[in-house]
Amino acid sequence: MTDHRSHCPVNLAVEVIGDKWSLLILRDIMFVGKRHFRELLQSEEGIASNILTDRLTMLEREGILTKTPDPAHKQKFIYNLTLKGIDLLPIIKEIGTWSLKHTPVDKKKYPHAGQLSKCTPEELTQIKNDLIKEHVR
């Protein structure tokens, strides 16, 4: 069992997903469709390979992602969201909504951010169901 500074729910969540890289990895898997290490490594933000390895290992250990061998290429792995990972969808949506309101988001480059921020609860449920179909085996 991991020692925690406190058992406050915000602290416990931040210990798992509170760093930049974990959230960006989840964004890329959820919304960009990246599933392989090399794809994630090529994100615009420029994550270093050792940090990517560390975050993927932690997200897998925390039950947010699974890693399975790629049947098409024996030396590659596919990263999938778990139900626990998919349950982060509303949090990532709200982070994006906050950013659209308070930061200089390039809305032409990232039109999906505006679309996601305007999702109704029913539409968000449909996105969640689509992620479940795509990721949960």
Tell me the backbone φ, ψ of residue 77, rounded to 5 degrees. -125, 150
Please write down the long-range contacts of 5-10, taking CB distance under 8 Å and 24 or more positions apart. Answer: none
Residue 73 reports pLDDT greater than 80: yes
Q: Is the pTM of this model over 0.95?
A: no
27 Ramachandran zone, left/alpha/beta (phi>0; psi -120 to 50): alpha
Task: Please answer whether residues 35 and 78 qualify as being in contact, where contact means their C-beta atoms are separated by less than 8 angstroms.
Answer: yes
More confident residue, 87 or 75: 87
pLDDT band at 109 (very low <50, low <70, confident <90, very high): confident
Residue 3 reports pLDDT greater than 70: no
Task: Please report the pLDDT score of residue 121 as a whole number.
Answer: 94
Domains delineated in the chain: 9-135 (1.10.10.10)
Angle, vertex CA 43, rays to CA 37 and CA 45, nearest 5: 130
Give the largest Cα separation in the chain, rounded.
45
